[in-house]
Structure 1
Amino acid sequence: MHPYLQITIGFARSGVLGYGGGPSVIPLIEYEAVKNYNWMDRDEFGETLALANTLPGPIATKMAAYVGYKVKGIAGAVIAVFAHILPSLFALIALLSFFYSFRSSPFINGMIQGVTPVIAIMLLTMALNFLKKASKGLGVKGALGGAVICLVFIELFNIHPGIVVFIFLSVSFLFAMYKNRKIKESLKVTEKIKKKVQ
């Protein structure tokens, strides 16, 4: 199958099935990009998602643009964004008046309530995958501790998630620099000891 067709089908599918806004679409985009078409691995997807959260604008559109660009450059990015947006846009225009006229209907309310647990499980699955990935580098305690700190910042102090991601990226960068410097220093000490022994 041609890459442009893959991009169109993959992002149209995630756009149509992504009920509940940007965060609920991310697991669908991850499925298409990582499992279905192998455009990237899970680690790269997680890193891209973390960086995309620090930028303004809808998260799903940013992810579509990046993945499309990675697969087929600027044309791929444009196709991915339009394929993701247009089906939902047409469906919204076509169905808005129908749903609006039946907004108090128990049937419509039942549909919404029936889909909500599915969205919750999709988001929980994605969160668990990120925790597993974080625990490889930080350990289980470090990953859970970081998650709790993020929860406190976002829920108790109402700090924007993008700012929290930026803070954690900055702290991680500084920690990595410090760790690398310590490793270099220990290697120098080891080399000096080897020279003395020789």
Structure 2
Amino acid sequence: MKKLLTMFFTFLKIGAFTFGGGYAMIPLIEVEVVNKQHWIDKEEFLDIIVISQTFPGALAVNSSIFIGYKIGGVVGALLALAGVVVPSFFIIIIIAYFFLQFRNNLIVDLVFKGISSAVPMLILVAVISLSKSLKKELSTVLMILLTVIAISVLDIHPVLIIILSGIYGAVFLRKKVN
């Protein structure tokens, strides 16, 4: 029970102090569940992030459910989900209630500009951290380069990239696993 409560409050903290969506949460989730609590290792964390991205829904919600389930089964999944969602729910309710009053407030505007400028850096930290656990092979580097080109230059939809990457892995990387 203590472990489940610790997990709930860990995800409550993650949900309360992360701005910018799921990708900005990745470094905080990693620090909490891999480095501090040692509930999962780095490789398993990377797998959970990949799986969470392929399912519909928010990355933080999906990853909290996977991690919670691993730690405490269905109850753990529900507690982790509640922990990560409750802060956002209340923050959105409060913002919606006061939004019209503060919409044109200079200080509020500057606070959000400051937060929004930090979010891309949090995402970059997540990319760097996750890339450290990738195997440094030519096929991995080529896949990264092709993905960046396909999305940013050729404007190919990320869902198609995910599907094609999965097919590539199943067909061409199967030999390396066996």
TM interval, short-chain normalised: 0.7 to 0.9
Q: Which ranges in structure 2 are unaligned for 5 or more consecutive residues?
A: none
Identity %: 26
CA deviation string 1:99-154 (max 9, x = no partner)? 332222221121011112322221111111222222x3425xx5443222212222
Residue number in structure 2 paired with 1:23: 23
Greater C-alpha radius of gyration: 1
Q: Identify if the C-alpha distance between structure 1 residues 154 and 90 changes in structure 2 by more than 3 Å, giving closer, same or farther.
A: same
- Cα offset, 1:26, TM superposition: 2.2
Q: Identify if the C-alpha distance between structure 1 residues 138 and 173 changes in structure 2 by more than 3 Å, giving closer, same or farther.
A: farther
Q: Does the Cα contact within 8 Å between 2:34 and 2:45 map onto a contact in 1?
A: yes
Amino acid at match of 1:70: K
Q: Which ranges in structure 1 are unaligned for 5 or more consecutive residues?
A: 182-198
Greater Cα shift, 59-68 or 151-160: 151-160
Residue number in structure 2 paired with 1:191: none
Instruction: Determine the C-alpha separation between the residues in 1 that align with 2:30 and 2:7.
Output: 13
Task: Tell me the secondary structure at the aligned position of residue 40 of structure 1.
Answer: coil
Q: Identify if the C-alpha distance between structure 1 residues 162 and 6 changes in structure 2 by more than 3 Å, giving closer, same or farther.
A: farther
Amino acid at match of 2:137: L
Q: Does the Cα contact within 8 Å between 2:39 and 2:71 map onto a contact in 1?
A: yes
Instruction: Determine the C-alpha separation between the residues in 2 that align with 1:97 and 1:155.
Output: 38
Residue number in structure 1 paired with 2:161: 164
Greater Cα shift, 8-17 or 85-94: 85-94
Aligned residues: 178
Structure with more contact order per residue of length (Cα contacts < 8 Å, sep ≥ 6): 2
The correspondence of residues 7-156 of structure 1 with structure 2, limited to 5 A, is 7-134=7-134, 136-139=135-138, 142-156=139-153
CA deviation string 1:129-182 (max 9, x = no partner)? 222222x3425xx5443222212222344444343233223212322323467x
Q: CA RMSD in A?
A: 2.1
Q: TM-score, normalised by structure 1?
A: 0.80
The runs of 4+ residues in structure 1 deviating greater than 4 Å are none
Instruction: Determine the C-alpha separation between the residues in 1 that align with 2:68 and 2:5.
Output: 11
Q: Identify if the C-alpha distance between structure 1 residues 180 and 13 changes in structure 2 by more than 3 Å, giving closer, same or farther.
A: closer
Task: Tell me the secondary structure at the aligned position of residue 54 of structure 2.
Answer: coil
- Cα offset, 1:54, TM superposition: 1.3
Q: Identify if the C-alpha distance between structure 1 residues 180 and 148 changes in structure 2 by more than 3 Å, giving closer, same or farther.
A: closer
Greater Cα shift, 81-90 or 146-155: 146-155
CA deviation string 1:33-69 (max 9, x = no partner)? 1112111111111111112211111111110100000
